[in-house]
Structure 1
Amino acid sequence: MSELRFSLADVAGVRLAVSPVNETVMSMWALASPIHYAVHLPWIDRARATLRRPEVADRVRPLVELARPRCWLPDFLTPAARPNVEIAEQLDQIAATPPDVVVQDLLATTPRRPLSAYGRALLAEPRELLPQLVDAVRVWYDEAIAPDWPRMRALLDADVAYRAAQLAEGGAGQFFEQLHPSLRWHGDRVVSDDPFERDFDLRGRGLALNPTVFTERRVLWNLLEDSMPAGAYPVRGVGTLWEATGTPPGDPLARVIGPGRAALLHLLDAAATTTGLARLTGMSAGNVSQHLAALHAAGLVHRSRQGRHVLYRNSDAARVLLRASRGG
């Protein structure tokens, strides 16, 4: 069980963001243990083929050795994200990690399992070997994450919008109680039902939270109290991530309402924003807005405002049409 203790400043400092580097690093867990990440099998098949290429395998090896399944990650490798951060900025942040922090963070990961060969080498020569690790993360992002990043980002952005509205409307207690079944709010602290036994006093630094598609079952926290407080939690709707972005071949619904509107309905089992849908479908935001307006007027989608974002989701009538078109 872990506990995070909040002051009033920490409650006000809870922030949500998408972290490209976290997705890149944590994706290694899915690659190594596909049976535990079956929802990602379409991506895993492609990523494994990518990793078999010798020129990729050699450069990514430091990340493969450091991001092993059922092993803790050093905090410097999963830095607290801020809104709209890009992968290049996060890589620069990792590259600038002082050698003593690299050593401290690596040692914090060893109680459960010893370091890999690369981990031991990095521990001995952090200044010399850290650039190899940064290069490994960059290469893996470019080769395996970037091609699918628009659809990942759309799902993650929709979750951030949804959670931000929960926090604004319901306060910290309701927010954390609904963030994940393992979390409970007890007045001035979050109690996390997990095996990590971490104990944090946030000390006015706030808490950075990011949804991730590659977290299995739990909220994952930074290991060390001296690190910037951060946590990664499972994103909502991950089961829709690898669904086809267009309409199925021969989709009868597309013949009735048009392929663009049918494509949106196939994606709106989970709530999404106009921007997110544009990323997923490849349509312009203007076209998506026009289709959504028509679908809303026909009673096929509901819309709700969550903070600064408008989320769309299928209505019951749309779900009936989808079941009929899918032969269900």
Structure 2
Amino acid sequence: MSELRFESADVAGLRFAVSPVWETVSSLWVLDNPVRHAVHLSWTDRARVIARRPEVAARIRPLRELARPRRWLPDFLTPAAVHPDVTLEEQLDQIGATPPEVVVRDLLSTTPRAPLSGFGQALLAEPRELLPSLVDALRAWHDEAIMPDWPRLRALLEADVAHRAVQLAEGGAGRVLDQLHPSLRWLGDRVVSDDPFERDFDLGGRGLTLNPGVFHGGRVLWNLLEESMPAGTYPVRAVGTLWERSPAPPGDPLARVVGSGRAALLHLLDSPATTTDLARRTGLSGGSVSQHLAALHAAGLVVRTRRGRYVFYRNTEAATVLLRAARGE
């Protein structure tokens, strides 16, 4: 069991972000254990071909040796996002600027779980000289295996962050933390995490950065060391929809009336969704989704609501009546 103790400043400093470097690192766990992560099999099939290419395998070797399955990650490898829209390059710069003594400290913190790999031992001995090769490995793997699907991944991650923003606005930080994952409980001044890691952190007024993660399931994962900037990663919502396409059902009578694109959106808008999320789930371009939504909104079939920097769309009662009639309900 782990505990994170909060001061009032930590509650005020709770924030959510999308971390490109986290997805890059954790995707290797999926590559090494595709059966456990069957929801990502379509991505895994493509990524394994990429990883076998000799020039790619050579460049990403340092990363693969540090991001081994069922092993702890050094904190510097997955830094807390400095702002919600952090880019991969910003995070790579942050990793590349890690002081040598922090690299050594973080590497040693992983050894109770398993000994360091060959590259890990070499990095421990020469952190300043070898850190650039690790940064290059991260960039190479992201460019080859993550970037082609990044718009889809980011849309899912941003939809989760938007959901947490609504929870925060409606119920405060306590509600967000209590509902973040079944293994977490908010006790008023601390989060208790039902896990085997036995982390015990005093956040000390530094706040807490949380990011959803696509490529890991199960428990919430925390930084290893109290000295690191407090951060945690939790499984993203609705990961099962990530690789699916959701057009209107074959023979849908509603599609013959309003068109297949608009019908597909109406079938998905029983619950609120953003434009980027709808584009991901339908396979339509963002521009096409925006045009369809504008027409549906003008016809009184969808409503839109702004929540922070996100705009959510949802069916009106009129749309619900049309859908029920089309489904023969």
TM-score exceeds 0.5:
yes
Cα distance 1:31–1:253, how it changes in 2: closer, same or farther (>3 A)?
A: farther
Partner of residue 40, structure 1: 40
309-318 vs 210-219, greater mean Cα deviation: 309-318
Q: Note if 1:141 corresponds to 2:142.
A: yes
Runs of 5+ unmatched residues, structure 1: none
Cα distance 1:95–1:267, how it changes in 2: closer, same or farther (>3 A)?
A: farther
Q: How far did residue 167 of structure 1 move?
A: 1.2
Cα distance 1:76–1:291, how it changes in 2: closer, same or farther (>3 A)?
A: same
Partner of residue 176, structure 2: 175
Measure the CA separation in 2 of the matches of 1:106 and 1:150: 32
Partner amino acid for 1:106?
L
Cα distance 1:188–1:261, how it changes in 2: closer, same or farther (>3 A)?
A: same
Q: Note if 1:113 corresponds to 2:114.
A: yes
Measure the CA separation in 2 of the matches of 1:67 and 1:314: 43
Q: How far did residue 199 of structure 1 move?
A: 0.6
Contact 1:26–1:215 (Cα < 8 Å) also in 2: yes
Measure the CA separation in 2 of the matches of 1:125 and 1:154: 38
Partner of residue 24, structure 2: 24
Contact 1:301–1:318 (Cα < 8 Å) also in 2: no
Measure the CA separation in 1 of the matches of 2:301 and 2:69: 42
Provide, for residues 259-290 of structure 1, a one-character-per-residue CA deviation record: whole Å limited to 9, x for no partner. 322443565577431244346645244x4234
Partner amino acid for 1:203?
G
Partner of residue 91, structure 2: 90
1:279-290 → structure 2 map (5 Å cutoff): 281-285=283-287, 287-290=288-291
Contact 2:261–2:292 (Cα < 8 Å) also in 1: yes
Measure the CA separation in 2 of the matches of 1:229 and 1:113: 23
Partner of residue 240, structure 1: 241
Partner of residue 261, structure 2: 260
Partner of residue 52, structure 1: 52
Contact 1:215–1:232 (Cα < 8 Å) also in 2: no
Cα distance 1:294–1:308, how it changes in 2: closer, same or farther (>3 A)?
A: same
Partner of residue 76, structure 1: 76
Cα distance 1:250–1:23, how it changes in 2: closer, same or farther (>3 A)?
A: farther
Q: How many residues align?
A: 325
Runs of 5+ unmatched residues, structure 2: none
Provide, for residues 27-77 of structure 1, a one-character-per-residue CA deviation record: whole Å limited to 9, x for no partner. 011111111111111110110011111111110111111111111111001
Aligned residues: CA RMSD: 2.8
Measure the CA separation in 1 of the matches of 2:316 and 2:260: 18
Instruction: Report the 3-state secondary structure (helix = DSSP H, G, I; strand = E; otherwise coil) of the residue aligned with 2:37.
Output: helix
Q: Note if 1:65 corresponds to 2:91.
A: no
Provide, for residues 86-110 of structure 1, a one-character-per-residue CA deviation record: whole Å limited to 9, x for no partner. 0011001101111111111111111
Partner of residue 7, structure 2: 7
165-174 vs 274-283, greater mean Cα deviation: 274-283
Instruction: Report the 3-state secondary structure (helix = DSSP H, G, I; strand = E; otherwise coil) of the residue aligned with 2:192.
Output: strand
Measure the CA separation in 2 of the matches of 1:71 and 1:215: 13
240-249 vs 181-190, greater mean Cα deviation: 240-249
97-106 vs 304-313, greater mean Cα deviation: 304-313
Measure the CA separation in 1 of the matches of 2:271 and 2:33: 26
Contact 1:7–1:188 (Cα < 8 Å) also in 2: yes
Cα distance 1:121–1:16, how it changes in 2: closer, same or farther (>3 A)?
A: same
Instruction: Report the 3-state secondary structure (helix = DSSP H, G, I; strand = E; otherwise coil) of the residue aligned with 1:226.
Output: coil
Cα distance 1:289–1:15, how it changes in 2: closer, same or farther (>3 A)?
A: same
Partner amino acid for 1:4?
L
Provide, for residues 109-160 of structure 1, a one-character-per-residue CA deviation record: whole Å limited to 9, x for no partner. 1111111111111111111111111100000000000000001111111111
Instruction: Report the 3-state secondary structure (helix = DSSP H, G, I; strand = E; otherwise coil) of the residue aligned with 2:151.
Output: helix
253-262 vs 53-62, greater mean Cα deviation: 253-262
Q: Note if 1:198 corresponds to 2:199.
A: yes
Instruction: Report the 3-state secondary structure (helix = DSSP H, G, I; strand = E; otherwise coil) of the residue aligned with 1:211.
Output: strand
Contact 1:74–1:109 (Cα < 8 Å) also in 2: yes
307-316 vs 35-44, greater mean Cα deviation: 307-316
